Amino acid sequence: MRQYPEIKLSIKGRDEEIDFIKHVLDVAISTALPPMENLIQNYLMTFHLGLYASPNYLEKHGTPKNIEDLKNHKMISHDKKNIHQFGKDINKILHSQSKTNACAEPALEMNMGASLVTVASKGLGIISVSKEYPGLQQSGLIQVLPEIENEVDIYYIFQEHMKKNKKILALETYLKTTLKAHRTKSK
């Protein structure tokens, strides 16, 4: 907004299928969508999903040593009805590595990342979240079972007829530059 004060933004988080027509979207920032003729999907970054819990939770319930131990823990996940792509990916990796389907039923389901982090910070269970999630480091959450990690690529998606739109291109350039600077600073 400082760099382009004339641009007006409306940012909305959604945990449902992206539909540019129904939701009147100019741009989506999401995991890859099924290939469509009229969509351009440019890679932005990769999120690294892992399992996190608060020190209080781990002190009270113990730290899981392997994936099978998760059946003895309270898992907090994205809402299955409107499951977020990240939730699908972490659930898929957990189930593929588990011999006993350790994570079949979460103790709590939510549909907002910030709520997941808040609830986990209060010691209510283990969540899956991206290590790039804003505020994760300040939340005090600790990664558990770091060997269980999954990568999810994120794309800048817009309709092909917008490919020469200066605002669309400026936002994409800004995001790529900011993300690159953030990655460099984090190293």
pLDDT digits (tens, 9 = 90+) for 42-74: 999 998 888 999 999 999 999 999 888 888 899
Give 31's DSSP letter. S
Residue 61: its H or E element: helix 55-61
Cα(70)–Cα(100) distance, rounded to whole angstroms? 10
User: What's the distance, Cα to Cα, between the start and end of the chain in Å?
Assistant: 27
Query: What tokens appear for 138 in the block?
Result: 């300040």
Q: Domains of the chain: which residue ranges?
A: 48-146
Mean pLDDT of 121-130: 91
Q: 121 vs 97, which has greater pLDDT?
A: 121
Banded pLDDT at 171 (limits 50, 70, 90): very high
Cα(64)–Cα(79) distance, rounded to whole angstroms? 23
Confidence (pLDDT) at 116: 87
Task: Give the closest residue to 162 by CA, choosing from 44, 42, 46.
Answer: 42
**Burial classification of residue 73, based on how many CB atoms lie within 10 Å of its CB (0-12 exposed, 13-18 middle, 19 or more buried):** buried
pLDDT digits (tens, 9 = 90+) for 128-161: 888 888 888 889 999 999 988 888 899 999 999 9
pLDDT digits (tens, 9 = 90+) for 79-111: 665 545 555 555 555 555 556 555 557 788 777
Cα dihedral sign, 66-121-44-86:
positive
Give 92's DSSP letter. H
**Burial classification of residue 10, based on how many CB atoms lie within 10 Å of its CB (0-12 exposed, 13-18 middle, 19 or more buried):** exposed
Cβ distance 159 to 40 under 8 Å? yes
Which CATH fold topology does 48-146 show? D-Maltodextrin-Binding Protein; domain 2 (3.40.190)
